[in-house]
Chain A
């Protein structure tokens, strides 16, 4: 059934011959291929560290253009990046970048010849830009940035909240290449009185779903015009997988992924904020300094989710690892500042009583991951709890306890790593 993947309409740029062979063997052996049911066959299982966290680890090729992923939902797809990927890559490979779709009828094809991006509304000259024009008629903008689902790590939120029960893998870091939105707005000429930008895509509700379920996100004009918000046509040097938003995706650096509209087709310049479901009912957080509240609290004013919080993670050693007493242990991982650059990463080997500054890896820009490293020597045998904490340029740091809101959004508690010294 490999033929299903190799027609002219499908490109699978990330896979080399070796992966091809490996996947063909898998497909042949287990009879797994797109268009067929996932339920009946055996799959490796993975246990995410929360109650009811058992998931399938699906092999490369189960979903088109995707590698091995944690299966959160078949339809519409929710695929989580296995944690081992972050151990090996500061930039998340496209084929293992997490996938999140809301509606069952999202588009399964893109015709690149007829695809247009329209700039409409309060502009002097409405635009209709083809993919070739986007590629050749505007200056290239490149940026390293983390794309993170608003609900990343929801499975750790306490009390538990319904929704996708992600561990920490609903995020990814990529070098995005494309065009600054400001370039398009300049060419169209924004009229006086404009205040907001609405972003729409190929994703539209179909029967039996009402028309207003079409996916629309809205940003302030000033934000969209800041020279950083961009239309990306490539991630990590290649076109993106269809499931990640091919051919063009909005990049809103430092903001949660709900704004990073996939398959972007329309930018409407408006004189009012968004009124649709995706701005007024979904992805709302408490209007408090932290975005958190007390579970059960009544009458809390809600606002659209926005800036990301700082986060840091361990990638080595593995959880529960055994290390030798009296010998230095190298620890490390990845960190991000969130809506602003990372200032420092602090590491504790004694459950948070003392913190030391970790050294930071190369700085690819304020919105991407940075690697961090530290070392400690366990002086006695027994259990250790390691902790890591990111602090950003605004002085915002990760809390010891995760906050709560009804959507289970913006979890960023300090990570704990248990170790055993022997």
Chain B
């Protein structure tokens, strides 16, 4: 079984031009792996929505994702916002009551305004 590596990683663009053949000829052997269990702690976000409709967004958006993701979105049409909110409910399973869908879409549309040309 051939366990010799064929690549040498971490090479810069300069190396990719100038010294690449050397880097490959002197290739490292197969990666040495020592399995070790891992547990990570992730940072959290305490960012919340304020202003008109902030409460309904805090109730139904933050259960799955942080508020930054919404704030970064582009302005899209009201119809597109409805598609997005429905996707969160129907595809991702967010427990958003049926009678809140249109309201949430309207709140988002008002926040971002009409799509920019």
Q: List residues of A whose CB falls within 8 A of some B CB.
A: 4, 7-11, 32-40, 50-52, 55, 62-65, 71-78, 87-91, 93, 102-104, 108-113, 131-132, 135, 139-140, 142, 144, 155, 159-162, 164-165, 174-175, 177, 205, 208-210, 213, 233-234, 236-239, 242-243, 246-247, 277, 281-282, 315, 332, 334, 361-362, 364, 370-371, 373
Q: A142-B6, A142-B7, A162-B84 are in contact. Are A238 and B42 (CB under 8 A)?
A: no
B50 at interface, CB cutoff 8 A: no
Q: A38-B45, A90-B16, A361-B20 are in contact. Are A165 and B38 (CB under 8 A)?
A: no
In chain B, what residue has the closest Cβ to A212?
B93
Contact between B75 and A160, CB atoms less than 8 A apart: yes
Q: A73-B68, A209-B93 are in contact. Are A36 and B43 (CB under 8 A)?
A: yes
CB distance from B115 to the nearest CB of A (A): 6
Contact between B73 and A52, CB atoms less than 8 A apart: yes
**Which residues of chain B from 1 to 52 have any CB-CB distance to chain A below 8 Å in the complex?**
1-3, 5-7, 9-13, 15-17, 20-21, 23-24, 28, 30-31, 33, 35-47
Contact between B93 and A213, CB atoms less than 8 A apart: yes
Contact between A75 and B91, CB atoms less than 8 A apart: no
14 residue pairs of the A-B complex, CB under 8 angstroms, read: A10-B40, A11-B36, A34-B43, A38-B43, A51-B116, A52-B74, A63-B42, A76-B65, A109-B37, A140-B30, A142-B6, A209-B92, A239-B36, A370-B16
CB distance from A111 to the nearest CB of B (A): 5
Q: Which chain A positions have C-beta within 8 A of B92?
A: 102-103, 209, 213
Q: How far apart sit A103 and B91, CA to CA, in the bound complex (Å)?
A: 11
Q: How far apart sit A134 and B38, CA to CA, in the bound complex (Å)?
A: 18
Q: How far apart sit A253 and B105, CA to CA, in the bound complex (Å)?
A: 38
Contact of A362 among B3, B20, B37 (CB under 8 A): B20
Q: Which chain A positions have C-beta within 8 A of B6?
A: 142
Q: List residues of B whose CB falls within 8 A of some A CB.
A: 1-3, 5-7, 9-13, 15-17, 20-21, 23-24, 28, 30-31, 33, 35-47, 63-66, 68-69, 72-76, 80, 84, 91-95, 115-116
Contact between B38 and A242, CB atoms less than 8 A apart: yes
Q: How far apart sit A108 and B75, CA to CA, in the bound complex (Å)?
A: 33
Contact between A73 and B10, CB atoms less than 8 A apart: no
Contact of B9 among A87, A140, A175 (CB under 8 A): A175
Secondary structure of the B side of the interface?
loop
Contact between B16 and A9, CB atoms less than 8 A apart: no
Q: How far apart sit A420 and B64, CA to CA, in the bound complex (Å)?
A: 46
Q: Which chain A positions have C-beta within 8 A of B66?
A: 73-75
Q: How far apart sit A344 and B50, CA to CA, in the bound complex (Å)?
A: 51
Q: How far apart sit A132 and B33, CA to CA, in the bound complex (Å)?
A: 9
Q: Which chain B positions have C-beta within 8 A of A162?
A: 73-74, 76, 80, 84
Contact between A334 and B68, CB atoms less than 8 A apart: no
The 4 nearest A-B residue pairs measured at CB: A362-B20, A160-B74, A74-B45, A361-B16
Contact between A51 and B74, CB atoms less than 8 A apart: yes
Q: How far apart sit A76 and B37, CA to CA, in the bound complex (Å)?
A: 21
CB distance from A56 to the nearest CB of B (A): 8
Q: Which chain A positions have C-beta within 8 A of B1?
A: 139-140
In chain B, what residue has the closest Cβ to A164?
B69
CB distance from A215 to the nearest CB of B (A): 12
Q: Which chain A positions have C-beta within 8 A of B37?
A: 9, 109-113
Contact between A9 and B74, CB atoms less than 8 A apart: no
Contact between A371 and B74, CB atoms less than 8 A apart: no
Q: How far apart sit A65 and B15, CA to CA, in the bound complex (Å)?
A: 26
Q: Which chain B positions have C-beta within 8 A of A175?
A: 5, 7, 9
Contact between B93 and A210, CB atoms less than 8 A apart: yes
Q: A34-B40, A234-B33, A242-B40 are in contact. Are A39 and B47 (CB under 8 A)?
A: yes
Q: How far apart sit A161 and B76, CA to CA, in the bound complex (Å)?
A: 8
Q: Which chain A positions have C-beta within 8 A of B41?
A: 4, 34-35, 64, 108
Contact between A35 and B42, CB atoms less than 8 A apart: yes
Q: Which chain A positions have C-beta within 8 A of B9?
A: 91, 174-175, 236-237
Q: How far apart sit A114 and B93, CA to CA, in the bound complex (Å)?
A: 30
Q: How far apart sit A89 and B11, CA to CA, in the bound complex (Å)?
A: 6
In chain B, what residue has the closest Cβ to A35?
B41
CB distance from A134 to the nearest CB of B (A): 10
In chain B, what residue has the closest Cβ to A90?
B16
Q: A51-B116, A62-B43, A370-B16 are in contact. Are A112 and B69 (CB under 8 A)?
A: no
